[in-house]
């Protein structure tokens, strides 16, 4: 009787102990952007991030120092590693593939990957909680940030996600208020070149197309769908863009194979070939600095509509708010000019 009672009491005690743990674990189920339900640990402090752009989301949420495995490198992203120096100690790979055993040995709590990353099944098979994230416009970007905050599971991450989303909404509204009424004739044709060798552009149904239109332009390559699409130089000549924006890291038009060929373009003739700013991540692409990109692009395309905008001050303010980093005016200007940090 005594033994039986003790046994039952023990089972009851274990059940009571396990129930809150199980409930807490179940409560930490997150639905990623692919629609997959992912169980994540109650406390996430060690993150493997297999999507280049997603690092900026984690940094925006105050979790940059929790990245223990990265696909980024100081040579390509000098500002990211300056502002988040802990990345210099992270496990680093070339490409976007981590070894699952290495991540297990490093005690990664969660893996983030771009939606559709072919390594996701291998991570999940190794019992690594893996969250797919993706966004192609501002609404889906805000959702991806909230999903990331939910994985982190802290009030701080949630608050920062809300603060960033409110900031983005505010900037979009301010710009839209001035550009929405522009006629097609008032909207310059903008070609965004992401690579000069080979020649690749960004078309419609992309975040790039979103900010071009919001800033008061028309995407010269709207007939092409998707990111980083290879095109012929003849096609560029046929589009006859009013403005060419070249992605940071793509080089310059003057030093490209197309320097002479593109001379007749209106954008070249009118000196409207601009290098895109690049900081923690290239502003024109899929990071949180897209909130700065829309301000920069709107003022570049329509300076008469945004005479009060000080993009240097806006950059300093953004980095203070969302990356906890105080940029000097010179540093902010270097980011705007797509230049790396000055050597010490």
Q: Would you say residue 341 lies in a domain? A: no
Boundary-marking domain end, from 114, 135, 167: 167
Boundary-marking domain end, from 134, 167, 200: 167
Do 23 and 123 reside in the same domain of the chain?
yes
Do 290 and 191 reside in the same domain of the chain?
yes
Q: Would you say residue 22 lies in a domain? A: yes
How many domains does the chain fold into?
Answer: 2
Among left, alpha and beta (phi > 0; psi -120 to 50; other), residue 116 is: left
Do 193 and 155 reside in the same domain of the chain?
no
Q: Is 107 helix (H, G, I), strand (E, B) or coil?
A: coil
Residue closest to 190 by CA, chosen among 276, 257, 264, 258: 276
Residue closest to 228 by CA, chosen among 201, 193, 250, 262: 201
Q: Is 101 helix (H, G, I), strand (E, B) or coil?
A: helix
User: How many Å apart are CA 150 and CA 30, to the nearest integer?
Assistant: 7
Q: Would you say residue 281 lies in a domain? A: yes
Residue closest to 291 by CA, chosen among 166, 182, 179, 195: 166
Q: Is 4 helix (H, G, I), strand (E, B) or coil?
A: helix
Do 187 and 160 reside in the same domain of the chain?
no
Q: Would you say residue 175 lies in a domain? A: no
* Cβ contact 64:55 at 8 Å: yes
Do 237 and 114 reside in the same domain of the chain?
no
Do 145 and 199 reside in the same domain of the chain?
no
Tokens at 172, concatenated = 């979009």
Do 240 and 305 reside in the same domain of the chain?
yes
Strand partners, 193: 201, 246
Strand partners, 243: 190
Residue 274: count of CB within 10 angstroms of its CB: 17
Q: What is the structure's pLDDT at 249? A: 87
**φ, ψ at 196 (rounded to 5°):** -95, -25
**φ, ψ at 32 (rounded to 5°):** -80, 180
Buried b (16+ CB within 10 A) or exposed e, 48-82: bbbbbbbbbbbbbbbbbbbbbbbbbeeeebbbbbb
Boundary-marking domain end, from 132, 167, 202: 167
Tokens at 210, concatenated = 């979103």
Domain that holds residue 139: 2-167
Residue 129: count of CB within 10 angstroms of its CB: 19
Q: What is the structure's pLDDT at 170? A: 98
pLDDT, averaged in runs of 10, over the chain (344 residues): 43 38 56 96 97 97 98 97 98 96 98 97 98 94 97 98 98 97 97 96 95 98 96 97 95 92 96 97 95 98 97 98 98 97 88
Give one DSSP letter per residue of 87-99, joined into a string.
GGGSEE-SSS---
Do 34 and 146 reside in the same domain of the chain?
yes
* Cβ contact 287:51 at 8 Å: no
The answer for residues whose C-beta is within 8 angstroms of residue 21's C-beta and 6 or more apart is none
Q: What is the structure's pLDDT at 227? A: 93
Q: What is the structure's pLDDT at 343? A: 86
Q: Would you say residue 344 lies in a domain? A: no
Which strands, in side-by-side order, build the sheet including 67-70?
Answer: 91-92, 67-70, 47-49, 110-114, 130-133
Tokens at 159, concatenated = 């608050």
For the four alpha carbons of 102, 108, 112 and 118, in that order, the dihedral sign comes to: positive
Extended strands (E) in 115-179 = 130-133
Do 273 and 298 reside in the same domain of the chain?
yes
Residue 233: count of CB within 10 angstroms of its CB: 13
Do 247 and 201 reside in the same domain of the chain?
yes
Do 189 and 149 reside in the same domain of the chain?
no
Q: What is the structure's pLDDT at 19? A: 35
Do 116 and 232 reside in the same domain of the chain?
no
Strand partners, 245: 192, 274
């Amino acid at each position: 009787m005594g033994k039986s009672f003790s046994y039952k009491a023990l089972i009851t005690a274990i059940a009571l102990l396990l129930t809150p743990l199980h409930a807490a674990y179940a409560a930490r189920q997150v639905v990623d952007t692919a629609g997959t339900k992912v169980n994540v640990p109650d406390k996430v402090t060690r993150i493997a991030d297999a999507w280049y752009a997603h690092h900026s989301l984690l940094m925006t949420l105050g979790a940059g120092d929790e990245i223990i495995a990265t696909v980024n490198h100081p040579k390509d992203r000098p500002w990211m590693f300056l502002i988040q120096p802990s990345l210099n100690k992270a496990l680093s790979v070339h490409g976007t593939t981590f070894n699952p055993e290495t991540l297990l040995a490093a005690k990664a709590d969660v893996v983030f990957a771009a939606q559709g990353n072919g390594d996701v099944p291998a991570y999940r098979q190794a019992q690594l909680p893996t969250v797919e994230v993706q966004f192609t416009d501002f609404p889906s970007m805000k959702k991806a940030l909230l999903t990331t905050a939910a994985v982190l599971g802290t009030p701080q991450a949630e608050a920062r996600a809300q603060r960033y989303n409110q900031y983005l909404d505010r900037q979009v509204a301010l710009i839209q208020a001035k550009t929405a009424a522009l006629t097609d004739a008032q909207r310059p044709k903008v070609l965004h070149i992401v690579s000069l060798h080979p020649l690749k552009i960004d078309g419609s149904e992309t975040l790039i197309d979103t900010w071009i239109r919001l800033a008061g332009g028309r995407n010269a390559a709207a007939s092409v769908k998707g990111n980083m699409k290879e095109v012929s130089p003849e096609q560029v000549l046929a589009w006859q863009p009013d403005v060419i924006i070249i992605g940071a890291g793509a080089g310059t038009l003057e030093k490209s194979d197309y320097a002479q060929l593109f001379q007749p373009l209106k954008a070249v003739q009118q000196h409207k070939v601009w290098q895109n700013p690049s900081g923690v991540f290239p502003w024109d692409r899929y990071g949180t600095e897209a909130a700065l990109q829309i301000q920069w692009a709107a003022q570049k395309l329509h300076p008469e509509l945004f005479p009060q905008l000080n993009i240097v001050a806006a950059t300093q303010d953004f980095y203070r708010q969302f990356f906890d980093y105080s940029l000097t005016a010179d540093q902010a200007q270097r980011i705007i000019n797509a230049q790396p940090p000055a050597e010490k």
